[in-house]
Amino acid sequence: MKTIFTLIYFVGISIQVLAQDFEPNYEEDKIPEYQLPDLLRMENGHLITNKRQWSNRRRAELVEIFENEIYGKSPVWDGQISSKVILENKDYLNGEATRKVVKLTLKRGEKSLDFNLLVFYPNSGKQVPAFLGLNFYGNHTISSDEQVAVPDAWIRNNEKIGSFNNKASEKGRGQRIANWPYEEILTRGYGLVTMYYGEIDPDYEDGFKDGVHALYSERKREPNSWASIAGWAWGLSRVMDFLEGEDWIDNKKVAVLGHSRLGKAALWAGATDERFAMVISNNSGCGGAALSRRAYGETVGRMIEVIPYWFSDSFKVYYKRENDLPVDQHQLLALMAPRPLYVASGAEDKWADPKGEFLSCVAASPVYKLFGKVGMPATVLPPLDQPVMGTIGYHIRSGGHGLLPYDWQQYLDFADMHF
């Protein structure tokens, strides 16, 4: 272990010395030659030929590799979760729905952490499927109701959203409703649960002293210790713990969803927690759905330079060495099998490598075949705004980086298809 730490230390020094203005590659003919790691071949060379072998052997092996080399290993939850309804309106939208705010408290020994959930569900008189996802700027940005509180947690500065000095404000109220169209979601018969991701773990390099990491502060950090993406994913699982006890939700039909860095977190949550019945990645890019070896747009090296705290320290060893990674992201996507998986790209979002996201879906499909399912039904990138849906769904829509109403329409259709 000392040798690994020493190697990581010198890699870190090299990164500081070599980091310079980054020019992303957006040309297909400049993509380096690469060969993807074999999805169905064990590290000992054994070939996986059926779903039992995948489920009992290869799946666990891949999870362990991703834990040790990229995202870090999250702790097993050994504390208590309590909940308190802060706000509830059972006559929301003229009686068609219920909206409530629930404070979750995670307590482990003398340490505790609060999350605030914004919850919507139709008053249908029966248990309903639901979407669960983290938001970027606070629950108040998804509601025009002043009763939904502005978060106190650290927040990224964004003048348009009204966050200054890393504090949210009333200026942001309702500005992200279009990104979370809860009325349409409710009309289609689904619930929606969201929360501000910074309450789980603040999105800056804090030495892992805040958020969920503080609950385990007594543990010495190792090269494969969990980082921010794993922390956000772990928080989603704690919300799932709570949802399993809610009477309005069909907890066997919960789709976990995320956009951008939170799409990376949603994928890792889906990989590590099979209670999520569907997994949705929206523009997650490098470290998410896109193949790392393509080095198109955002790259492993650039992430290590700019946002190293999203990943385990062991990931730094692969600085500008994508081809040395023992895994690639098609193997992450395959960890969702046999559950439905949807990956979405934006045509102008070259940073996230739309083609690399699609190719990752194609390369993950052999595992779905082991389960007798069609994974990605297309092998060629589909035209703009023409989704393709098997057990893996995909679309590349017009426009750039964002979670848009068009995306939600496809996710709702996909959920109708599988739920």
- Catalytic residue list contains 401: yes
For residue 276, tell me if it sits in a domain.
yes
Give the H or E element holding residue 304.
helix 300-306
| Mean pLDDT for all residues in the chain | 96
Confidence band for 1, pLDDT divided at 50, 70 and 90: low
In tens, the pLDDT along 37-65 reads 999 999 999 999 999 999 999 999 999 99
For residue 192, tell me if it sits in a domain.
yes
For residue 36, tell me if it sits in a domain.
no
User: What's the whole-number mean pLDDT along residues 20-27?
Assistant: 91
Q: Is 373 exposed, middle or buried (0-12, 13-18, 19+ CB in 10 A)?
A: middle
Higher pLDDT, 19 or 79: 79
Provide the domain count of the chain.
1
For residue 333, tell me if it sits in a domain.
yes
In tens, the pLDDT along 77-136 reads 999 999 999 999 999 999 999 999 999 999 999 999 999 999 999 999 999 999 999 999
For residue 317, tell me if it sits in a domain.
no
**pLDDT value, residue 11:** 54
For residue 301, tell me if it sits in a domain.
no
In which domain, by residue range, is 247 found? 72-294+326-418
Question: Which residue in the list 74, 225, 260, 281 is annotated as catalytic?
Answer: 260
* pLDDT exceeds cutoff 60 at 4: no
Question: Which residue in the list 55, 83, 237, 401 is annotated as catalytic?
Answer: 401
For residue 7, tell me if it sits in a domain.
no
Three-state DSSP at 312 gives: coil
The enclosing domain of 245 has a CATH number of 3.40.50.1820
**pLDDT value, residue 16:** 54
* pLDDT exceeds cutoff 80 at 252: yes
In tens, the pLDDT along 271-326 reads 999 999 999 999 999 999 999 999 999 999 999 999 999 999 999 999 999 999 99
Q: How far is C-alpha 103 from the chain's CA centre?
A: 22
Q: How far apart are CA 233 and CA 256, in angstroms?
A: 10
User: What's the whole-number mean pLDDT along residues 259-277?
Assistant: 99
In tens, the pLDDT along 144-163 reads 999 999 999 999 999 999 99
For residue 23, tell me if it sits in a domain.
no
User: What's the whole-number mean pLDDT along residues 204-221?
Assistant: 96
Confidence band for 203, pLDDT divided at 50, 70 and 90: very high
**pLDDT value, residue 2:** 45
* pLDDT exceeds cutoff 70 at 177: yes
pTM equals: 0.96
Q: How far is C-alpha 100 from the chain's CA centre?
A: 24
Q: How many CA atoms lie within 13 A of 267 on its CB side?
A: 33
- Catalytic residue list contains 314: no
Q: Which parts of 23-148 are beta strand (E)?
A: 80-91, 97-108, 111-122, 128-135
**pLDDT value, residue 21:** 83
